[in-house]
Amino acid sequence: MSGTCLEQLDTRLATAPIVPLIAENDAERAVETALALKAGGLSVIEVVLRSENALAGLDAIRCADADLIVGAGTVLTLDQLAAARSAGAQFIVSPGLLDPIAELCLAENIPVFPGVMTAGEVQRAYAMGLRTVKFFPASLAGGVPMLKAFAAVFRDMRFMPTGGISAGNLVDYLALPSVLACGGSWLTPRGAEPEVTQGLAREALAIAATARPSG
Ligand code: 3PG
């Protein structure tokens, strides 16, 4: 993704600060889910690499709708990074901070969200030049109070909390100015009909509008 696409990602997340996760082994189901999310107003999607066919799903989503911004999540190794890029991933998410993955993405201008959960990890990411990180697993890593503490010292770092986010606590996370967007799987329950997924996306957007009236 070029610098311009990075701006597109920022712009989308400014208006709809939610990144739903798709964890589907079936590519057709992955596409159906992505299109339902888009119909509900969410067009930045993370396909997690947790099944054999996840990358086929990512590729299929990209082919099905060029307007979606589709990233790869659960990227654990450089090999997975290469495979995700070949499949068309437009951004990369990892549960932790692996320097070679972050460095390669930074060097090649690929938006990357490595996971952090301690001040030391945030500081290391900051020193590498990263200004946006995933906060994972958000609910276990201290949740909203921890993010407030981070924001006080890492003043220009933005966070994407993920892990334990739901319609019930989304508003609390999105109320924090340091939160770029919230990620999660609550929007894509296994086996859900497209109408259900679409409804969950709409509900999340309505919550976001409450948390950020001017967004
Ligand atoms: C992730 O990979 O970010 C998490 O597994 C998402 O956590 P959740 O399932 O609690 O949303």
What's the 56 CA to ligand 1 centre distance in angstroms? 20
Over residues 149-177, mean pLDDT:
97
Catalytic residue list contains 103: no
Over residues 161-187, mean pLDDT:
97
Over residues 47-60, mean pLDDT:
97
Is residue 25, in this structure, part of any structural domain at all? Answer: yes
Is residue 213, in this structure, part of any structural domain at all? Answer: no
Ligand 1 atom with the smallest distance to the CA of 166 is 11
pLDDT at 4: 52
What's the 215 CA to ligand 1 centre distance in angstroms? 24
Over residues 169-191, mean pLDDT:
97
Which of the four pLDDT bands, split at 50, 70 and 90, describes residue 6? Answer: confident
What's the 104 CA to ligand 1 centre distance in angstroms? 24
Torsion of CA 134, 88, 127, 13, to 10 degrees: -50
Report which protein residue has its CA nearest ligand 1's atom 4. 163
Which residues form the pocket of ligand 1, taking CB atoms under 6 Å from any ligand atom? 21, 48, 73-74, 136, 162-165, 183-186
Q: For position 143, which CATH number holds?
A: 3.20.20.70
| Strand pairing class (69-73; 44-48) | parallel
Structural contact between residues 25 and 52, judged by C-beta atoms closer than 8 angstroms: yes
Catalytic residue among 28, 121, 134, 203: 134
Is residue 183, in this structure, part of any structural domain at all? Answer: yes
Is residue 214, in this structure, part of any structural domain at all? Answer: no
Query: Tens digits of per-residue pLDDT, 73-123?
Result: 999 999 999 999 999 999 999 999 999 999 999 999 999 999 999 999 999
Tally of domains in the chain = 1
Domain range holding 122? 3-207
Which of the four pLDDT bands, split at 50, 70 and 90, describes residue 53? Answer: very high
Is residue 70, in this structure, part of any structural domain at all? Answer: yes
Catalytic residue among 24, 38, 46, 103: 46
191: phi > 0 → left, psi -120 to 50 → alpha, else beta; which? Answer: left
Contacts of 7 (CB under 8 A, 6+ apart): none
Report which protein residue has its CA nearest ligand 1's atom 5. 163
Residue % of the chain over a pLDDT of 90: 94
- Tell me which of 113, 185, 200 to substitute to probe ligand 1's pocket, judged by most ligand atoms within 8 Å of the beta carbon: 185
Is residue 215, in this structure, part of any structural domain at all? Answer: no
The region of weakest confidence among 4-13, 40-49, 126-135 is: 4-13
Is residue 186, in this structure, part of any structural domain at all? Answer: yes
What's the 164 CA to ligand 1 centre distance in angstroms? 7
* pLDDT at residue 177 tops 90: yes
Burial class (CB in 10 A: 0-12, 13-18, 19+), 206: exposed
The region of weakest confidence among 6-15, 16-25, 193-202 is: 6-15
pLDDT at 172: 98
Structural contact between residues 75 and 49, judged by C-beta atoms closer than 8 angstroms: yes
Facing residues of 18 across strands?
182
Catalytic residue list contains 38: no
